[in-house]
Amino acid sequence: MTIDWAEWLNLAIRWFHLTAGIAWIGSSFYFVWLDNHLVPPKTGEASGEVWSVHGGGFYHKQKYQVAPRQMPQDLHWFKWEAYTTWLTGFLLLVLVYWVGAASFLIDPAKAALTPLQASGIGAAALALGWLIYDGLCCSPLGQDDRMLGAAWFAVLVGTAWALCQIFSARGAYLHVGAIIGSAMVGNVFFVIIPNQRKVVAALVAGEVPDPALGKAAKSRSLHNNYMTLPVLFIMVSHHHAMTYGAQRPWLVLALLGLTGVAVRHVFNLRHRGQPLGRAIVVAAGLALASVTYVSVEKAGAVKTAGGAEDWASVEPILQKHCVSCHAARPTSAMVTAPPLGVMLDSKAHARKFAERVKQVAVDAEIMPLGNTTGMTRAERDALGRWIDAGAE
C-alpha cells in the first residue's frame, strides 16, 4: 500500500487555510457590522452601543472610541485568525506554485524561467507589494481612502499585467491574491495589533492613549474589509478557466476585483442605513461588464481566427502534445495509464473528450502540464475551432 503524502498534505493545508480564513473574515465582517450599527449610549462613557440577539440570548456591546478609563480584567484579541490564514495560504503557495513551479507557474511560451527564478520573482512580488501598499498608506494619499484605493488598485492591475507576461495566467492570479492577502495580514501584524498594544500599555501606565493610534488601526481594518471579496474570488478562480483563460486575464481580474469591492460597499452602506441605489447599480454594472467582456472577447477570437479545422489538421497537434500521456498505452515515463481515463489517440476518443480538452488546453492553458511540449496559442486556437465546429 502506498500513500500519496503530498496530496494529503495539500488537502490538510488547504482545509486549514479555509477554516482559518472563515474565522478571520467572519470576525472582520462582524466588527465592521458592529461599528456601522453603533448608536450613542443612553448612559455611561462609551462612544457607542448596540443590542443584538443570537442563539437564544441578548447581547449588549459597547465601544470606547479611544479606550476605557481602566484596563479591563479580561481582554480578547483577534489576531491569530489572520496570522493562521496567511501562514497556511503561504504554505499552499509554496507547495503548489513554487515547488510545483514547472507544472503550474512557469509557461515556457512566455518566459524561460527555472523553478528557482520563478519562485524568487513570486517572493519578491509579495514583499514589494506590501512595501508599496504601506508606503501609499503613509503618504499624503493615506489621508483620503478613495485616492489611496485608486492608487492601490492601479498598482495591483499593473502587477497582474506584469505577472501575466511571465507566469501562467493561473499562477499570476494566485500571486496577485497572495499580494493582497499579505497586505491584509501586514495591516494586522504591523499596524493594528502594535497600535492596540500601545493603547493597552498607556492604560496600564495610567496615561491617556493617543487617539491617532486607534484611528490608524481602524483605517487599516477598513482597507482589509474592502480587499476581502477580491481575495476570495482569486481563491476560487482556478475552478473557472473562463476568467484566467481569457486573452487579457489581467483585465478580467481587474473587473471582477472591482465588482467585489463594489459589492462589499453595498453591504457597508446597508449596515449604516444609507441609500443603496447608486451603489447597487455600480456593482451590477461591473458584474455585467465582466461577463460581457469575457463573452465578447471569446466571440471576437473565434471570428478572427478563421474557419473551422478538420481532423487532419488537429490530429498532428494532439499527437505532438497530448498522446504521449493520453493514450491506451502511454509512452510518457510520467504516467502508466491515461490520466483521468482521457484518451486522445483517435478521432473517436478526441470527440468524446472534446469539451474537457477545450477547458484545460484551449481556455485554461493548463495542459500540457507545464507546457513542456511548447504548445502554441495558434495550436490551441486550432483545437478550439475544431471543437466549436462540432469536432467533426
Rounded to an integer, what distance in angstroms lies between the CA atom of residue 220 and that of residue 225? 9
Alpha carbon of 162 to those of 111, 127, 250, 251, 260: distances in Å? 12, 16, 9, 12, 22
pLDDT of residue 282: 97
Per the structure block, which three cell numbers stand in for 189? 501584524
Task: State the Cα–Cα distance between residues 32 and 122, nearest whole angstrom.
Answer: 32
The DSSP symbol for 48 reads E
> Which amino acid appears at position 264 of this protein?
R
pLDDT for the residue 115: 94
Which residue reads 500571486 in cell numbers? 175
Res 307: pLDDT: 56
Whether 327 contacts 353, CB under 8 Å: no
List the alpha helices (DSSP H) in the chain. 5-37, 80-92, 101-104, 115-138, 145-166, 169-186, 193-204, 211-237, 241-244, 249-271, 277-305, 311-321, 347-352, 354-357, 377-388
Q: Name the strand (E) or helix (H) holding 7.
A: helix 5-37
Strand partners, 51: 60
Residues with Cβ within 8 Å of residue 95, at least 6 apart in sequence: 6, 9, 10, 13
Is-above-0.75 flag for pTM? yes
Calpha distance 371→374 (Å, rounded): 5
Is residue 257 within 8 A of residue 235, CB to CB? The reply is no
pLDDT for position 1? 64
Residue 165, helix vs strand vs coil = helix
| pLDDT at residue 276, rounded to an integer | 94
DSSP 265-279: HHHHHHHTT---HHH
- The owner of cell 515556457 is 108
Rounded distance, CA 236 to CA 34, Å? 28
Q: Which residues contact 387 (CB under 8 A, 6 or more apart)?
A: 354, 355, 357, 358, 362
Q: Are 220 and 137 in contact (CB under 8 A)?
A: yes
Positive/negative CA dihedral, 314, 320, 321, 324: positive
What is the mean pLDDT, run by run of 10 residues, along the chain of 392 residues? 81 94 94 92 89 93 87 89 97 94 87 94 98 97 95 98 94 97 98 94 90 93 96 92 87 97 96 94 96 84 59 86 88 82 86 85 78 82 84 76
pLDDT at 103: 83
How far CA 192 is from CA of 146, 198, 261, in Å, comes to 20, 10, 21
R_g (Cα) of the chain, nearest Å? 25
Torsion of CA 41, 43, 47, 52, to 10 degrees: -40
Q: Where are the domains of the chain?
A: 5-239, 240-305, 311-388
pLDDT of residue 40: 92
Mean confidence (pLDDT) of the chain: 90
